[in-house]
Every structure is written in structure tokens, then in C-alpha cells.
Structure 1
Amino acid sequence: MTNFQEMAKEIKNLTPIPAVTMSLLKVVDDPNKTMDDVTNIIQYDPAITADVLRIANSAYFGLKYPAETISDAANMLGTDRLVEFVLLKVASKIIQGPLGGYDMHEGALWQHSVSSAIIAKQLALQLGLPHSCSIFTAALLKDIGKTVMDKYVKNAYKKIYNLVINENFSFMEAEKKVIGVDHAELGGMMAHLWKFSPKMVMIITNHHLSREDTVKDKDTIVVYIADCICMMMGMGVGADGMAYRFHQQAIEQIGISADDIVTIIANVIPQMKEVAKLLKMF
């Protein structure tokens, strides 16, 4: 059995994304959605409902009157923030552990993924893109392929490293050459298996802009640039971070400046601290 066949079998046996998450992803970017559409999905998952109420009623928010229902929490937090908390909670279970093949300690992938999502959402709002929640989610889950690829990368690390050092391959190009698939492609397969939207599957598969036509898609560019900014900041950077292809035309395509990037970097650090603090309450 080839590496690819083994990985395909492995992703079919993965614990699926909770049904509540799948339902949320179908409505978050619907321009006609209402707060009731969101709360009606969440309220039927007892564990997530309990988590949301716990965080809404924490000292952090200091409510005068406790939130007793998901609707109360949504009114206080806002619909988008409520959805983001649920997605962050679900993602933390998938991307929390260490990845030895990528030289990432426990929590490093989580740190990188969450900071990418925060930056991507900020960029999407700044650019007036209509699907900011889907962009947030795609950025958050863009590296899920690494969770399955990790042991194959670890076993083939010498061959991958040789291609990177001696033949000027990017780490992802070396993954594909040695293993037969790269982590972005594998992540796209996982997203497809979990029935993510075609758009989100496309963004996850191409978040390194490996396909030339994706440089023209602003949603994908935003996720790519968020990833690059995290690399610049050293947020959860693993072994692959030192062999990264940068696409200058992506910056030019959406028209952000160096000053914009500096502002984004200044904003993301306090937001990361807030998210880490809140998620500890879950």
C-alpha cells in the first residue's frame, strides 16, 4: 500500500467534524441569515451550549444578568463572535497536539492556525470581502492536512530536507515529491470528506497559491497572506517555515501596504491573548 493509499484510508477513519459545525458553516455567510438561524443550530448541541453559556457568563464579560439561553449569549457576544468561539473550540481538538515531523511543539499548530484566522478575518473586513466567516474558517483549518501527514513527513524527513537544502525545493514541493501528496492537497481531501463547501475546499487546497489561477482569487489570497504574516511573526512556525515560496503578486493583487501589515501585526497579538484566555474557560 502506498503512502497516499494509507493516508486516504486514515482520513476516512478520522472522527468527523461535529454536525453542529457543519450546519453552522452552511449558514454563516448567507446574507439572509438571522441570529435565530445560528442559535437554533447551536442550542441542540448540549455540550457546546454549556460551553457558550459558561464563557458568556464568565467574569471576563461581567454581565449584570446571566445569559440563560444561546439567544441571550448571541445578543451579548454578537452572532459572528459566537460562531467563531464554536469553531475555535472544535478546531482546538484537531490541531492542538505536537507534530514531530514538522518540528512543532504541542500548541504550535493551534497558535499558528488561530493567528492566521484572526489576521485573515481582519484582512477580509478591511477589503470588504463578503465571506469573512468562511475565510476565517478556511484560515483556521488550512493546515489540517499536517495532522495526518506528520508521521509520513517524520519518516521521510531526510529525503525532504535534502531536496529543500540541495535542490531549492519549497518544503511543500518536497513533501509532494517524496510522499506523493502535500499537506495542502491532503487538507483539501479532508475538507471534502467533511463536506465543506467547494469554495472552502478550494481555499484549503490552494492556500499556498500553488495553482497559478488562485493568485486571482481574493479569498484565497487573504488566507495565503495571513499565513505569510504568521510566518513573519514566528507564530507557530515549524520546519517548513524556513522553505516557503513568497508570491509578491498576491500582495499587489489585493493592494495592501507595508503599513497595513504593521497595523495587522500590532492588532493580532492582543487578540491572540484574548482568544487564549477565553478558550481556557471552555
Structure 2
Amino acid sequence: MMNELQSKMLVCYIGEERNMGRLLEERLSAIGVQFMLVVDPASGVRIAQQYKPKVIIVDERVGRYESINVISTIRRILSKNETGIIWHASGVTASKVIDAHKAGANSILTRPMTMPSLVSRINELFKPSPGINFSREDSLENKTAEDTQKKLSKVQNLNAVPYVVEKVLNITGDSDSSAKDLEQVIETDPKVSAVILKRANSAFYTSVRQIGRILDAVARIGFREVRALILGLSVIDLFPRDQKTLSFDRVQFWISCLSTAVIAQTLAEVDKEIDPDDAFIAGLLHDLGRMILDEHFPDEFSRALSISERFRISLSDAEKKVFGMNHQDIGKIVLENWKFPKELQSVVGKHENLEEINKIEDPKERKLAQIVWAGEWITLLLGVGTSGERLINYPMPDQISGFNFWPAVLDKEFENKAMFRLDDLLSFIGADTSRTPRKLQGETAVSKAVVYEESNLPMGPLAYLFENAQFEVKRAESIKDIGPVEPNVIAAIEFISFDSLRTSLQYLPAGRQPLLIVVPKGELPYDDKVKERAGLPIQKTIYLEKPFHCNELMQAIEKLMDFLN
């Protein structure tokens, strides 16, 4: 039964994203919460003054206005006791957090927004009485695999491959075909033609001579890369840009897929056994099934996202629970319908579970799947875009023992090279890169950090993240091994016991009390009292549970920087 507070609650969203507002209205109205969408910040301030909403969500995207200024203006009108303000933002740094709180925000909600996280923030504002009881998704029934396949079979564009894709696959699969054949197909689609010419004349292909013929563009870019571009763009164009699920950002989803594609392509160049452009296509399409779920099963997909977040299980497992199959199964079915090459079907159908990947019999398919898995894993660890998946499982040594490309994964220079390529590609397609990849900014009092480990976790992606935040990174199995560094922050990743950590910390200079991020190897109590009893010379400790998302590590560092500032 709806409580009295909920029946009177008015939530106001101030921001430019009308689709986000529409989805919020749909979800909140379904549980009896009044909702107002305001695009213009000045109107939002007037509405705040007139209606005094219980909750105001201020999006960072508010046109020419600074969202922090909007928060500050509203707070001068309404006290914290009257109205709770939630700042909805991305790429949140410690300095931004401080500015938002100084302006009067009660809470910060990072992208992508999920209903459980929004409800949690609202309820925090009204403790001890909950503001909202959100149970709509719990009332939905699970589907069987047969139900899901039956609905998919009725979707016309999932049963027939796009014309240009079919022709390109036929031409590039025929050893007797030429660039002239490819030119004739490209010229039938003005949009594809424009993209190919734009790419050929981009800064990535450094040349002073501008070209205007498709044949010349194919010669400059390369036969197989043109194929990869056409297949990728044609599939992306099948889906509208606007999301249908509140917590699933389609733009960031495709950025995540592009990142996986670029990293897989770069790894294939290191490996030398797989065609880099095949790796690019496989990486781009690996999560195709997830986009299909958002497009055709938005309510059920929203439920899977919520289950994944609430119970800390993988999104694939949550999909299986809700749909009777997961996005890998769906992606494979669609690529089979589209008559894509068998190895691509196989990789899309098996790209997440290393145990299954390593059992693939065909050596080429197995290697391609391993490379795509690594591309997706690094993308998740770096927090580039968002695929909907929030957890990262670290591989066991025996699972990656046969990966001859693995040394590249451990090298931060590899990440730099791959991210340069990704930035170029995102710039080329005009994507919003302001929050991609997920990095901290160097606006902080923390100048040095040590990553202390008792396990052999890959340092390449972690070093990339830390160093882009202007941290000095040292890898050591004991504090005594780090040399003349006096760290402000220590990330103790997979340490074994407080005893071992205490023994290591005794080598710190006298009086030095750094901040600590703890990722325990086993089951350990997560509270500061344990730290005090262990006698650790630490100012503050933040605990993370495995498996954890890179964003959680970044948020932990931000909290520590907030503490320092």
C-alpha cells in the first residue's frame, strides 16, 4: 500500500534529455509519484519556488546554464528540509563533488541512472520513513526461451539482413571480387558513401590530397576496413538513438562496443593469427543481443538490469533468469538469420565465459573469442562507455595461460595506443566523448599513490587509470619495496590478511598515515573498527568487494580525495 508521503510526493527533473524525462515519468507515475519535466532551467527555478517539489533532479546537461549554478539558485529559495536536490552527472571528480555539495545538492547520482539507485537516493533523503516503494519490476513474469524466440521471430528487421550488408558480405567473401565491385555496392547507399569518403579524408589517414571517388577511398582505407565500417554502421542504424530502458544508455552502449572492437583489433595486431578487421567486427557486434533486448523487451530488460544491480550477479545471468536466454544467445540467432560468417556467430554466442571459450574446437574461432573477451574485459575495467554490465570477474592464471597476446594487456602503453584509436573513431562519428573513457581529472591534492598487491592482477588498465589521474603508480608486494615514495593513497588489492598488511605498513615513514582502499582476497569484516583493532596507521579506509567495477574503484578514490580536500 502506498504510504502518505509517497502519495503527496512531487519529483521534478530539470534537464535537456526529454527521453530521460519521459522514461522517469513513466516509471514514477506507475507507482503514484507526481512528476514534472522541465527543459528550461529558468522555468525550473520558477516551478521550484511555486510548487516546492519534495525532490528535484538537476541534470548536468542544462543548456547554456551551469547545473551547479541552477542547484545554488534553487537552494537559495528552498531549504534542505523542504526539498532534496539530486545532481545527475557523469565523469564526476572530487572537485565536482565538492562544488555540488557546496551549492546545496543533497546527493549525487552518476550515469547511467537506474531505478533502484534513484529510489535509494530518494529514500536516503527521507530517512527513517521511506519515500518510495518501487516494486513494478518485481511484478513482471519471467519469460521462457521459447517465449523470447517467438517474439523475436516476428520482428522483421531481425529476420532479414540489410541489403548493403548482404552485398558486402558476398563481395568480401568472394576471392574473385575487386574494389570496383565494392564501389558499386557502396554507391547504392548515399549515407554509406558519405561515411566512407569522410573516413578516407580524415586526419587518421594523413594525406594532403582530398579524394572524392569511392574507389580511391577504398584504396586508401583498405578493402577489409571498409567492410568493417559498413557492417558496423549498418547494424547501428537499425536501432533508434533514444533508449527505451531508463538505466540503459544507448550512446554509451555503442561507445562500449566500439571500445571492445578497437581493443580487440589492436590485440589481433599483436597476436598476428587473427585478421584485425575480423576482430573489430566481432568486438563491435559482440553485445548486439543486449540492444535487441532494450528495443523489443524494455520492461523485462529493465528488470534484468535491476536484478543484476541488487544481487550483484552478472547481467548475463540476470538476463537468463528473466528471458530464459541471454544476449549472447539472441545475438547468435540474429547473426545466423543474417548469414554472417560462422566464426562471428560463434564468438557472439560465446564471448563472456572463458571456460566455454577455451573449449571451442576450431582454433581460429577460439582465438577470436579470446581476443574479443579480452577487449570487453579491458573496456569494463577502464569504464569506457557502458554495456549494462557492472561487474568484472578476474581471470584465473590457467584460463589465460595460452593467450600469447596477454603481455600486451599488462602494458599501459597498449591501453594508450588503443584509447588513441578509440578517441579518433569517436571523434570521427561525432560521439559525445566528454565522459569516455572514465578517468579521474588531476584536480586533487593527492599527488602520489601506491598499488600494493599480493596477487598477479593485470596492471596495464589500472596503471592507465591511475596515471591519467596524475598519480604516481608503483607496483609492490610490500611497502618496503616501493622506494622513496611517501604515498597519500594505497590500493591494497587482494591482500591476504590484516596481519600481512600491518607488517608491510610498518615500513612507512614515521608520521605518515595514508588513505587505504582495500579489496580483500577472502571474507573480512568491512568496517573501520577492524582497522582500528588491527592497529593500522591509516586515516580512513574504503572497502570494495570482488567482483568490482572500475567505476567503483574510481569512486572510492574520489571519496578519499574528498576526505583529503
Shorter-chain TM-score category?
0.7 to 0.9
Partner of 1:90: 234
Residue identity matched to 2:337:
L
- 5+ residue gaps, structure 2: 1-142, 361-365, 432-565
Does 225-234 or 8-17 show the bigger shift? 8-17
Partner of 1:78: 222
Partner of 1:175: 319
Partner of 1:240: 389
- Within-5 A mapping of 1:46-65: 46-57=190-201, 64-65=208-209
Partner of 2:15: none
Partner of 1:207: 351
Partner of 2:300: 155
User: CA separation in 2, counterparts of 1:51 and 1:159?
Assistant: 36
Partner of 2:257: 113
User: Which deviations, in whole Å up to 9, do the C-alpha atoms of 1:34-74 show, x marking residues without a partner?
Assistant: 54454354344444223322443467757544423221112
1:197, distance to aligned residue in structure 2 (A):
1.4
Does 83-92 or 153-162 show the bigger shift? 153-162
Partner of 1:23: 167
User: CA separation in 1, counterparts of 2:278 and 2:202?
Assistant: 28
Q: Is the strand fraction higher in 1 or 2?
A: 2
1:186, distance to aligned residue in structure 2 (A):
0.5
User: CA separation in 2, counterparts of 1:121 and 1:27?
Assistant: 22
Change (3 A) 1:236 1:36: same
Pair 1:127 & 2:127 matched? no
1:88, distance to aligned residue in structure 2 (A):
3.7
User: CA separation in 2, counterparts of 1:67 and 1:136?
Assistant: 25
User: CA separation in 2, counterparts of 1:94 and 1:230?
Assistant: 24
Higher RCO (C-alpha under 8 Å, 6+ residues apart): 1
1:274, distance to aligned residue in structure 2 (A):
1.0
Residue identity matched to 2:300:
N
User: CA separation in 2, counterparts of 1:159 and 1:260?
Assistant: 31
User: CA separation in 2, counterparts of 1:131 and 1:47?
Assistant: 27
User: CA separation in 1, counterparts of 2:251 and 2:308?
Assistant: 28
Pair 1:264 & 2:437 matched? no
- 5+ residue gaps, structure 1: none
Partner of 1:255: 404
**Any conservation in 2 of the 1:102–1:238 contact (CA below 8 Å)?**
no
User: CA separation in 1, counterparts of 2:387 and 2:181?
Assistant: 39
Change (3 A) 1:267 1:250: farther
Partner of 2:370: 221
- Within-5 A mapping of 1:6-21: 6-14=150-158, 16-21=160-165
User: CA separation in 2, counterparts of 1:156 and 1:76?
Assistant: 42
User: CA separation in 2, counterparts of 1:15 and 1:275?
Assistant: 29
Change (3 A) 1:132 1:100: same
**Any conservation in 1 of the 2:241–2:251 contact (CA below 8 Å)?**
yes
1:85, distance to aligned residue in structure 2 (A):
3.0
Which TM-score applies when normalising by structure 1?
0.81
User: CA separation in 2, counterparts of 1:13 and 1:53?
Assistant: 27
Residue identity matched to 2:371:
V
Pair 1:142 & 2:295 matched? no
Q: Is the helix fraction higher in 1 or 2?
A: 1
Change (3 A) 1:39 1:280: same
Change (3 A) 1:45 1:228: same
Work out the percentage of aligned pairs sharing the same amino acid. Answer: 20
**Any conservation in 1 of the 2:300–2:322 contact (CA below 8 Å)?**
no
Larger radius of gyration: 2
Does 113-122 or 151-160 show the bigger shift? 151-160
1:266, distance to aligned residue in structure 2 (A):
1.1
Change (3 A) 1:129 1:196: same
**The residue matched to 1:241 in structure 2 has which SS?**
coil
Partner of 1:192: 336
Pair 1:277 & 2:422 matched? no
Aligned residues: 279
Does 210-219 or 172-181 show the bigger shift? 210-219
User: CA separation in 2, counterparts of 1:272 and 1:61?
Assistant: 15
